[in-house]
Amino acid sequence: MSKILIKNIKSLLLAGEDLPRYKAGAEMENLNTIDNAFLAIEDDEIIAYGKMEDWGGITDWRDLEVIDADGKMVMPAFCDSHTHAVFAKTRESEFEDRIKGLTYEEIALKGGGILNSARKLQTMDEEELFQDAMVRLEEMMSYGTGAVEIKSGYGLTVDAELKMLRVIKRLKEASPLTIKATFLGAHAYPPEFKENHQGYIDLIINEMLPVIAEEGLADYIDCFCERNYYSVEEMNQVLEAGIKYGLTPKVHVNQFSIQGGVAAAVQHNALSVDHLEEIDDQDIEALKGSDCMPTLLPGCSFFLSIPFGAGRKLIDNDLPVALATDFNPGSSPSGNMQLLTSFACVKMKLTPNEAITATTLNTAYAMGLDKTHGSISLGKKANLIITQPMESPALIPYSFGANSAETVIINGKKVK
């Protein structure tokens, strides 16, 4: 049994026993702060916390590690609810193409983008994919990420999609991170199905999904609903098939255009709708009254020079917002959740408190982990960040590019 006591915490963030599953609207500003606090961990769970004057002391000091957090914040570790962290190779040549004037869509239409990653992944062996992904996950942990969702979608053949999902399953077993797997076979159409969309959808439904269900390879099903990719009608087919196999929808939608995919995703009880760089009043109305989490990916907006999601508008309409990295080789090659808070504050006009809520409590909900992650509560997973000394949590987004995490604790163990 391992035990850690963190004492003299300047501020304990998102702490309490009555926090909601997620926060929406004006409530996102409230970080439920306890000043001059302590927190106790036993094995991988939070067993006590509160103000220092209420600490009753430790009766058993054996094997107890005491951390003095004087001047420092303690907050829940980040939950990254949208990534493509298993991939074959980086795509810096496309980065140069965009600098020279080509758009992401133009690069994709000439065989780049997702299809480029798929070609590389199809020829890469599972062990190399696994080892490379482990390195990425280690780096993400160093910035304070404690849970991550990873999608397939760079396979686009039966064998390659299953290979990706089997790698993700291995990562679940090998990494201290809590990992959720998403089947994104409907990420693009392989070249051989360019004129036969239904043929590829049939492959997803009849050949991929049965094996995925049999081997327990995925928690969620996803689809890229976008012009030049999947129509709303095609997305509906994919989601309905996944639901029959027990997979909950989480969808890519509204990255470049508005197709009506948000309302369709809500009708299918999607846990989240992700991207939303484009959004209109009809989409906002569709989200109101639902339990679907709008998830914005500002790293993608920054890297592709496309519009940033309307985070301020969503919150002002009393909706929740989650922020995730979209870590992938083509449009967001960074897994740094701290950097996202900077983008959200500067470009989306979220406050620092809202950005922290959006990367912890709300992203835990967007991963189906709200009962175990995302806040400081008794019995929750001891996934924590002890920050550098700071006067306010606003220093995290303010210090863009810096690592404000002095210590990272995952499953009750220090990993940094």
pTM above 0.85, yes or no: yes
CA torsion angle 42 149 162 211 (round to 10): 70
Q: What pLDDT is attached to residue 97? A: 81
Say whether pLDDT at 91 is over 90.
Answer: no
Residue 103 scores a pLDDT above 90? no
Between vectors from CA 413 to CA 409 and to CA 416, what angle results, nearest 5°? 50
Residue type at position 65: E
In which band, very low, low, confident or very high, does the pLDDT at 325 lie, cut at 50, 70 and 90? very high
Residue 59 above 60 pLDDT? no
Predicted local distance difference test score (pLDDT) of residue 120: 82
Q: Which residues contact 153 (CB under 8 A, 6 or more apart)?
A: 84, 114, 161, 164, 184, 185, 186, 187, 188, 222, 224
pLDDT at 359 (0 to 100): 98
Helix (H, G, I), strand (E, B) or coil at 66: strand
- Owner of token pair 């993608």: 300
pLDDT interval class at 57 (50, 70, 90):
low
Q: Which residues contact 228 (CB under 8 A, 6 or more apart)?
A: 105, 108, 109
The angle, 0 to 180 degrees and rounded to 10, between the axes of the packed helices 158-174 and 126-142 is: 50
> What's the whole-number mean pLDDT along residues 375-393?
97
Q: Taking 70 as the threshold, does the pLDDT of residue 324 lie above it?
A: yes
Contacts by residues 53-60 (CB-CB < 8 Å, ≥ 24 positions apart): 55/7, 58/5, 60/3
d(CA 255, CA 303): 13
Say if residues 303 and 97 touch (Cβ distance below 8 Å): no
What confidence score (pLDDT) does residue 95 get?
A: 84
Q: What would the pLDDT profile of 251-309 be if each residue is shown by its tens digit?
A: 999 999 999 999 999 999 999 999 999 999 999 999 998 999 999 999 999 999 999 99
The crossing angle, in degrees rounded to 10, of helices 337-348 and 352-359 is 140
Q: Are 183 and 175 in contact (CB under 8 A)?
A: no
Q: What is the pLDDT of residue 105?
A: 79
Q: Are 11 and 35 in contact (CB under 8 A)?
A: yes
Length of the chain: 416
Partner residues linked to 389 by β-bridges: 72
Look at residue 104 in the predicted model and tell me its pLDDT: 75
Return the bridge partners of 145, or none. Answer: 78
